Amino acid sequence: MNKTKTAAIYIRVSTEAQREEGYSIDAQKEMLTAHCVSKGIKNYAYYIDGGFTGSNIERPQMQLLISDIKQGKISHVVVYKLDRLSRSQKDTLYLIEDVFNPHGVDFISMNESMDTSTPLGRLMLGILSAFAQLERENIRERTRMGMRERVKSGKWMGGGRTPFGYDYDEITGTLVPNKDAERVRKVYELYLKGHSTGHIAQSLGLKYDKLAYQILTRKSNAGYIQYNGEEYLGKHEPIISLETYEGTMRYMKERSVKKVSESNYLLTGLLVCGRCGAKMRYQKWGKRDCKLVCYSQDKSKKHLVKDENCNNPKIWATDVEDLVVKDFLELSFEYSKLAPPKISNMSLLEVLHDQYSSIAQKLRRLYNLYAESTDDILLESINTTKKELYNIQLQIENETEKNKSTGGFANLHKTLTELPETWEYMTIKEKKVLLNDCINKITITDGHVVIDYKLSRIKEDGNDDNK
């Protein structure tokens, strides 16, 4: 053995193992030092990871040990027991085959009387590592099965990952809304009005922007528990209605596919040539100004050309923008004088939601009874009630889909009523998003501009027409 090399006595103690007899740091040091001396190993050093799990090798002293081995400083690695090195078969074999062996380092496990300098020692190592890994996976599987049964009964997964707006009640095993529940409701309200998650997080004092997105996508806020790709009705009190959650998911999907240009041009994506039907674009005209040009007149993008002979005149962009903004603000002023539009069939939706709440409460009671007494009759009642709940949910979704456009207009109505006071303070991106929400297209023909609104213009006599 090279006398300049050192035997590494590696000691790992997890938080739980510190309370186990024979696993403390001092106990391992004493036994391993004596073992090295008995083997004639006089030059040794300690590598100690206190309070680290053995499920991976991302431990400070383990990483230092690996580094020292690769630098040729280590002759042996000595541990009290195999699982002190690692509880993962993959990591154990990696250390032996890819770190220890290539650098001529022998591995000794005192408890298993193992020495990898011998063929038998290497064979025993592989067998013991396999059994250790098998036991660990069995424990994990039993834990998962217990967790699945827990969430199926409507209880939360545990107190470690409590969603924002809830506290975990250890006695009942369920979630309880806390003082932040109102902020959770506000997140949904602001998002459905068109605000970004960044703006919402800043307005409500959330720690980071992503938290607003996480709140919006958690179905636990509507009374459900999602676990391993499955969904279960929880026993906890919802912060928002299922309708609000599903409406938010639809709106989020719409916003994700809505392509609003990142340029600073206000009307990009809305402009259409009235002569040939091609899209129109901004084109620099001089040092500062732009004109709007039909893509049919731009031969560099042939896939956008509708008519090579189109001669729709170019028009100053600022003139069109000023006209559109003026008309849009007039539209918002008309809406500010009127009551919010009524949503049709709301009475039917209210009846369906009442039925849903009643059946959901019945299902929770049945779950509670079944948890106390696993009666097959109760289980049949639970399955029947779940089918009733599912059918009501389908009816709600159908009615909601019918009212989807009207509901969207109702949300925009409130934004429009506040627009005259807020427009000048909005960023160019916010203005573009709002215009894209309210306008289908802007058609330009020989200098004449026609705005096709998604919302109808409302006359004082009650008649509707588009500009």
Q: 19, exposed or middle or buried, with CB in 10 Å at 0-12, 13-18, 19+?
A: exposed
Structure tokens at 352: 């369906």
Cα separation, 132 vs 55, in Å, equals 11
CA dihedral sign of residues 191, 196, 201, 207? positive
Alpha helices (H) in 100-258, listed in sequence order: 119-152, 181-192, 197-204, 209-217, 242-257
43 Cβ contact partners less than 8 Å away, ≥ 6 residues apart: 3, 5, 6, 7, 75
14 annotated active-site = yes
Supply the DSSP symbol for 279. B
Exactly one of 14, 75, 88, 220 is catalytic; which is it?
A: 14
Quick check: helix, strand or coil at residue 365? helix
Cα separation, 223 vs 212, in Å, equals 18
Residue with tokens 């009643």: 358
Which sequence positions are flagged as catalytic? 14
